Structure 1
Amino acid sequence: MTSTKFTDVETPSAFVPAPSSPYQDDIARYWDQEARPVNLRLGDVDGLYHHHYGVGEVDHAALGKVGDGDYEQRLIAELHRLESAQTGVLLDHLGDIGREDTLVDAGCGRGGSMVMAHQRFGCSVEGVTLSAKQADFVQQRSLDLGIEDRVRARVCNMLATPFESGTAAASWNNESSMYVDLDDLFAEHSRVLRTGGRYVTITGCWNPRYGQPSKWVSQINAHFECNIHSRREYLRAMADNRLVPTAVVDLTADTLPYWELRATSSLVTGIEEAFINSYKDGSFQYLLIAADRV
């Protein structure tokens, strides 16, 4: 495999570029201020801090009985297991990754997926986020784990990254593509990926067969200050930017158990009903799309 070395940064927030739009400024502020227990308490289980949802069947044996003294802690651990399982599904679709390769996580959050990617492949992982607090969090976790030379995050716009063209073996968006224009996003991934490189996204999409975004989808947009795209928009924008889908996997049924379990926990945020109802009525889908750069 060809070695790629991206520009080092001592601390990701040492230089914080000015947002290119007022909306980006809003998003940076949103995630700088975000400190929901549903993200932090789950990450405290094993030090992997995610900003996405889970997939897979709930292990009811591991949960035990409702009312047991440690039931809530078991529930938190189970939700976290399902979120890490989701990252595992994403990593399964990245293809053949070597230790000398570099991966890019666009919209990296607090870096849980980046750490898991390094642990699986032994490669370097570069993350980008608009949030200086998230980037600093990733850098501190990397230092704590002794992998600061392999897992790094910086503050920048995922639509205009500092990486050289054709240097990434693979890249992904894990529930972060709803904050940007898809044509601009996929143009940047196409630029950074080497020919034959793999792009993967896991995302919620509104279903064109429903007609228009449902009231539940509109509630999700308002809650997260985002703009959920349709499945059709993803595929069209990929085709326009030299990304050829190799897999489209509907994970909707796989994520419902996570949401139904989360709705019973003390970590509810008020958006659980919108996710559950939109998945059940077919207006919202949870998809993985993998595509090769040609």
Structure 2
Amino acid sequence: MAAHQYTPLTRNAFETDVSTFYDTKRNDALNLDLGHSDGYYHHHFAVGDFDRSVLSLTGAAREQRVNHELHRMETRQVDVLIEALAPVRPDERILDAGSGRGGTAFLLHRAFGCPIDGVNFSPYQNAFARTQADKHGCADKVRFHDRNMTATGFPDASFDYVVTNETTMYVDLAEAFAEFARLLKPRGHYVLLTWCIDDSVDPAPPEAGAIDEHYHCRMHSRTQYLRTLLDAGLAPYQVDDLTRPAIPYWELRSHSSLASGIEPSYLEGYRNSRINYIRIASRRAAITA
């Protein structure tokens, strides 16, 4: 397997802006406060309903239960990836591209027992994730690398699976998917979760602009995902529209003191189908002689 040189963590103004955004503590109040007894911290959102009884509570009890429900939903969200990946053998290897604070990687390891490598161009988040790996006693199996997910430096065909959990809005899809295809073994799987523009409804919805500005990202369209996967030699075999199940999370977050003001954009975009929340599972083609 040929080794590949990886580039500096950030290579342009956009990547530098994103890295700076996630290297600060701007988002800690949102996600770090949601770490409960299971000790997992997430940088993603969620699918599924919440316990509606929490809205009848008042004061500190309400806020505590709302935060607990948000964290529970974020943890449950990783099951959407697990369901699409399973079964994974303990001797197989997963790349978590854009691994954030490590929540996805830890839950994948807990589910399958296999080695997980996370790559992220935010040294701050990686340092936090490594600390959590030590606390969970899995630092020998769950490793976090200061690398750009579009140019990882890993050898060809290093991984059986690649996942991205709400990170592809920070990359050029053609560049990222070509890298994932290179990293995957023949017949290896790539599973992604993301929000995206439904360009069959509106190619430039106002909610997309608001979300991009808020999270320093660049949202892609549903058509772009499917076309670019095929162009990279990754054949989609499962496409799931999870937009409706993604709505309750934003409803609940709008009732939390952790609300950041972006909740109405997600709610309006999802309810009107201008923004979608999707899961796509694809497979790298087998290499033939």
Shorter-chain TM-score category?
over 0.9
Residue type matched to 2:176 in 1? L
Separation of aligned partners in 2, 1:82 and 1:69: 20
Separation of aligned partners in 1, 2:133 and 2:73: 23
- Give the deviation of 1:282 after TM superposition: 1.5
Kindly report which structure 2 residues correspond to 1:174-213, keeping only aligned pairs within 5 A, or say none.
Answer: 174-213=165-204
Gaps of 5+ in 2: none
1:50 to 20, 25, 42: 42
Kindly report which structure 2 residues correspond to 1:54-93, keeping only aligned pairs within 5 A, or say none.
Answer: 54-61=46-53, 63=54, 65-67=56-58, 69-93=60-84
Give 2:216's aligned residue: 225
Give 2:249's aligned residue: 258
TM (normalized to structure 1)?
0.91
- Give the deviation of 1:45 after TM superposition: 4.8
Deviates more, 1:179-188 or 1:42-51: 42-51
1:17 to 8, 27, 43: 8
Separation of aligned partners in 1, 2:153 and 2:182: 11
> After TM superposition, what 4+ stretches of structure 1 lie above 3 angstroms from structure 2?
15-18
Gaps of 5+ in 1: 7-14
Give 2:283's aligned residue: 292
Structure 1 residues 64 and 180, CA gap change in structure 2 (3 angstroms)? closer
- Give the deviation of 1:197 after TM superposition: 1.1
CA contact (8 A) 2:7 2:151 kept: no
Residue type matched to 1:239 in 2? L
Residue type matched to 2:71 in 1? H
Give 1:9's aligned residue: none
Separation of aligned partners in 1, 2:203 and 2:108: 36
Residue 40 of structure 1 pairs with residue 32 of structure 2:
yes
Separation of aligned partners in 1, 2:123 and 2:271: 36
CA contact (8 A) 2:36 2:71 kept: no
- Give the deviation of 1:68 after TM superposition: 5.8
1:87-132, Cα deviation, whole Å (9 max, x unpaired):
1111111132111111001100000000000101000100011100
Instruction: State the secondary structure of the residue aligned to 2:236.
Output: strand
Residue type matched to 1:149 in 2? D
1:148 to 139, 143, 163: 139
% identical aligned pairs = 37
Structure 1 residues 207 and 16, CA gap change in structure 2 (3 angstroms)? closer
Separation of aligned partners in 1, 2:140 and 2:240: 33
Cα RMSD (Å): 1.8
- Give the deviation of 1:59 after TM superposition: 2.0
Give 1:271's aligned residue: 262
- Give the deviation of 1:36 after TM superposition: 3.2
Separation of aligned partners in 1, 2:37 and 2:135: 16
TM (normalized to structure 2)?
0.93
Q: How many residues align?
A: 281
Separation of aligned partners in 2, 1:44 and 1:17: 35
Structure 1 residues 54 and 45, CA gap change in structure 2 (3 angstroms)? farther
